[in-house]
Amino acid sequence: MGADEHIQLVPATEQHLDYIRTLLSEYGLPTQDIAEQKDSLYIFTADSARVGVGGLERYGDAALLRSIAVEPAKRGNGFGRTLCQQLFARATADDVTRVYLLTTTAEAFFEDLGFHEIQRDDVPPQIRQTGEFQEFCPSTATCMTKQLE
């Protein structure tokens, strides 16, 4: 990621839904509830070009991080880390103190961002009731959390 690139999170709109579904599908990530969760999804841009997507569903002072995906050609350049950091900053501004997620492939990536593994039973009930926890992610997915500062 070049220091001169203008990085921005853009709230997802109806016009972004096909792009979001396509990118998430490339990584085998859930897309079933994308339209319903549109208001919690963001497009990540660099110099006005789309480089990824991410979601943050808020539940009181907790949030579910989901649908983090970077364009394949842009991977390995720090965009995923920057995307997550911008989502964390937005969450902190909204008084979120803890973030949860499920992953089947990116444990090391999220550990590098300060997440640690927990049991699903340790997740707040309102997050355990989401589609991510109830339907879309396998029971074998690693559950992780991070305290925001």
Beta strands in the chain (DSSP E): 7-11, 41-46, 49-59, 62-70, 98-103, 116-118, 142-147
Asked if residue 87 is part of any domain, the answer here is yes
pLDDT tens string 36-95? 888 899 999 988 889 999 999 999 999 999 989 999 999 998 999 999 999 999 999 999
Phi and psi at 96, nearest 5°, equal: -80, 135
The count of structural domains within the chain is 1
Tokens of 88: 């964390």
Asked if residue 45 is part of any domain, the answer here is yes
**Within the chain, what is the greatest distance between any pair of CA atoms?**
44
Domain membership of residue 108 as a residue range? 7-147
Asked if residue 1 is part of any domain, the answer here is no
Type of residue numbered 137: C
pTM of the model: 0.90
